[in-house]
């Protein structure tokens, strides 16, 4: 999926307030503390609660392996003004099984979480915009997809501010939550992203709607 710069562990994205870099083993304690917050974990598909002691190390090593192989891109979200302060994590990886029709499986899927102490400051939106740019600048992705639980209006708002548009609702598997949950499925095409970069209104190109039929959530 990714090539060139992103597969080097020196790859860093800088924004106004954030540094997005490869996760390090030294981040383990902060990941377990922040992701272990029930308010954070319960809206995600993969973060367990309670968060097992030592599990962050396995997550970090798996993320670094995927980054190095170009199969995905998982980055730690760091406070730019306090480079030792981890705020959360954000990732681009393969679309979850069943979340898109076959021809769209190559479109990377955006996922993210942020420690609850840092909510409400626009940091997740800042990180999401930076990762979307990475998807289009460092990979040949025609679009980026995402999901937000129907009960998670905050995440949906983050994605909308990053340019994503909802194309339907469905039931999606959340393994760490033990079942299926209703979600909004969202998508941002390269065309839509370029329009946003030019400062134009994104009217959700028609190709964003060529997906599986909407399912009631």
Rounded average pLDDT over 167-173: 94
CA separation for the pair 48, 55 (Å, rounded): 10
pLDDT of residue 4: 67
CA separation for the pair 190, 138 (Å, rounded): 12
Q: Which two tokens stand for residue 17?
A: 């307030």
SS3 180: strand
pLDDT tops 60 at residue 98: no
pTM over 0.85: yes
Element (H, E) at 28: helix 28-35
| Pair 71, 1: CB distance under 8 Å | yes
User: Mean pLDDT across the chain, nearest whole number?
Assistant: 87
pLDDT of residue 102: 37
Rounded average pLDDT over 185-190: 96
Q: Which two tokens stand for residue 120?
A: 């409400």
Domains of the chain, each with CATH number or no CATH: 4-142 (3.40.630.30)
Q: In what order do the strands lie in the sheet with 18-21?
A: 12-14, 18-21, 73-79, 86-93, 109-114, 143-149, 179-189, 165-174
pLDDT of residue 146: 96
| Pair 23, 60: CB distance under 8 Å | yes
Neighbours of 118 (CB within 10 A): 16
pLDDT tops 70 at residue 6: yes
In the chain, % of residues over pLDDT 90: 76
1, 22, 91, 96, 207 from 72: Cα distances, Å: 7, 12, 7, 13, 24
Structure confidence at residue 201 as a pLDDT band (50, 70, 90): very low
pLDDT of residue 26: 97
Rounded average pLDDT over 162-185: 95
pLDDT tops 70 at residue 100: no
pLDDT of residue 79: 97
Q: Could you read off the pLDDT of 23-73 as tens digits, one per residue?
A: 999 999 999 999 999 999 999 999 999 999 999 999 999 999 999 998 899
Contacting residues for 31 by C-beta, under 8 A, at least 6 apart: 23, 56, 59, 60, 86, 89
């Amino acid at each position: 999926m990714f090539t060139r710069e992103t597969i080097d562990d020196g790859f860093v994205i800088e924004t106004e307030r954030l540094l997005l870099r490869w996760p390090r083993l030294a981040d383990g304690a902060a990941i377990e503390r922040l992701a272990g917050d029930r308010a954070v974990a319960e809206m995600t598909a993969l973060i367990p609660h309670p968060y097992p002691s030592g599990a962050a190390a396995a997550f970090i090593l798996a993320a670094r392996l995927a980054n190095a192989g170009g199969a995905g891109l998982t980055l730690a979200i760091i406070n730019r003004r306090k480079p030792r302060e981890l705020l959360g994590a954000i990732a681009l990886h393969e679309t979850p099984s069943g979340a898109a029709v076959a021809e769209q499986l190559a479109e990377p899927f955006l996922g993210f979480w942020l420690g609850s102490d840092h909510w409400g400051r626009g940091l997740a939106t800042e990180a999401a915009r930076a990762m979307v740019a990475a998807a289009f600048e460092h990979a040949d992705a025609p679009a980026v997809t995402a999901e937000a639980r129907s009960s998670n209006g905050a995440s949906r708002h983050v994605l909308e501010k990053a340019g994503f548009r909802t194309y339907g609702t469905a039931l999606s598997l959340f393994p760490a939550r033990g079942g299926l949950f209703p979600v909004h499925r969202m998508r941002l095409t390269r065309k839509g992203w370029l329009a946003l970069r030019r400062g134009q209104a994104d009217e959700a190109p028609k190709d964003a709607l060529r997906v599986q039929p909407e399912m009631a959530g």
